[in-house]
């Protein structure tokens, strides 16, 4: 009955991590509908590679890597579609929209960060993932994680009207 054991283990993994993976997708994309779809798509991939996921040093890191890759692809697709619509003149960009001193929430500030910085800041601060694991998830060096996280935190802090952000480390 190894098939049933695998199914049970996968269901436990799903139950334990679905909310976190959906939240990760939401924080990276800023889109709640897309985040649920991306989390579901990620679990399809996790199930397809369940043996590899289970034997990974950190199954949740493996799953987070899938989510961030899917989110990155989704963002690229959205950007291409938006660029196409802008070229067709079907969407107008309101020049003053980012200049108005409005109440800026963290999600809006996060969306303004470049994607890699956003991913690093979210994984490090929202999910408390160690730098080494973030590097594995995103397929970049630990030095790059440190740099993106530091710069992203500084940028986020600026966006949030100069309020200092807890960085838990050195600045640089």
Q: What is the DSSP letter of 169?
A: S
Last residue of a domain, one of 76, 93, 110: 93
CATH code of the domain containing 151? 1.10.10.10
Give the span between the Cα atoms of 126 and 63, in whole angstroms: 16
Alpha helix locations (H) across 88-141? Answer: 106-112, 115-121, 131-138
Domain that holds residue 72: 1-93
CB atoms within 10 A of CB 42: 26
- pLDDT, residue 154, reads 87
Give the span between the Cα atoms of 146 and 107, in whole angstroms: 21
pTM: 0.63
- pLDDT, residue 87, reads 55
Domain identity same for 7 and 83? yes
Q: List the end-to-end C-alpha distance of the chain, in Å, as a whole number.
A: 54
Domain identity same for 56 and 75? yes
- Would you place residue 126 in the very low, low, confident or very high pLDDT band (cuts 50, 70, 90)? confident
How many independent structural domains does the chain possess? 2
Is it the case that residue 112 has pLDDT exceeding 60?
Answer: yes
């Amino acid at each position: 009955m190894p098939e049933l054991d695998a199914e049970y283990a996968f269901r436990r993994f799903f139950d334990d991590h679905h909310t976190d993976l959906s939240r990760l997708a939401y924080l990276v994309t800023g889109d709640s509908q897309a985040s649920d779809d991306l989390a579901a798509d990620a679990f399809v991939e996790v199930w397809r590679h369940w043996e590899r996921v289970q034997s990974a040093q950190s199954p949740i890191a493996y799953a987070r890597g899938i989510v961030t890759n899917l989110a990155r692809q989704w963002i690229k697709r959205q950007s291409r579609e938006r660029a196409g619509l802008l070229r067709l003149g079907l969407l107008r960009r309101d020049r003053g929209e980012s200049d108005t001193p409005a109440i800026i929430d963290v999600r809006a500030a996060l969306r303004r960060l470049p994607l890699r910085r956003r991913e690093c800041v979210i994984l490090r601060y929202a999910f408390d993932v160690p730098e080494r694991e973030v590097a594995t998830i995103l397929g970049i060096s630990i030095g790059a994680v440190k740099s993106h996280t530091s710069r992203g935190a500084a940028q986020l802090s600026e966006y949030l009207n100069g309020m200092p952000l807890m960085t838990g480390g050195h600045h640089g």
